[in-house]
Amino acid sequence: MSDYYNYIKSLHLIFVVTWFAGLFYIPRIFIYHIEASEKPSPDKEILTDQLQLMAKRLWYIITWPSAVLATVFAIWLLIIFPAWLQQPWMHVKLGFVVLLIAYHLKNHQIFHQLQRNEVKYTSNFMRLWNEGATLILFSVVFLVILKNAFNWIFGVVGIIVLGMLLMLGIKVYKRIRDKNPRA
């Protein structure tokens, strides 16, 4: 079974990448949908119909299948190398995976709300929400690459700094956008 390790790992990584692609893009569609809901008719209806279709295709054709397949191949890897479950970095990684799944499920809930044209969040909230997948991705990649050499203090400080930079970027973009609505 370990002869197939590189194939299984490759498939796991491919589906992780496509899963994250979906998780990066779906909140952007949510933002556009929320902003479209504030437009006058007929723009509102035309845009929301198109955004609902785009979201549905992204969510059910790319994001959900990728999440399932990434998980299947991850479990397969753990079956091949059960010793990984004894390593502390893997416990932390699995904690981030649980967080990622929770983030995915919350996006699923928001997806369903917007499919019913129930707008419960602001576009500014969604811009912040959109960075959740980024923070998880950075955390997991550094953790997996550095493994036991991972310095927790630098890691935690790094994630906090990244979060602050992302929030600063969102605020700067909002100011630019407020001055020039076309930006």
**Helix residue ranges, H only, 37-131:** 43-57, 64-80, 88-115, 123-129
CA 35/CA 93 separation, integer angstroms: 35
CB 135 within 8 A of CB 159: yes
Q: Which residues make up each annotated binding site?
A: 12, 93
CB 75 within 8 A of CB 15: no
Return left, alpha or beta for 97; rule: phi > 0 is left, psi -120 to 50 is alpha, else beta.
Answer: alpha
CB 129 within 8 A of CB 121: yes
Instruction: Take residue 3 and report the two structure tokens written for it.
Output: 């002869």
CA 89/CA 159 separation, integer angstroms: 16
Q: Which residues make up each annotated binding site for heme?
A: 12, 93
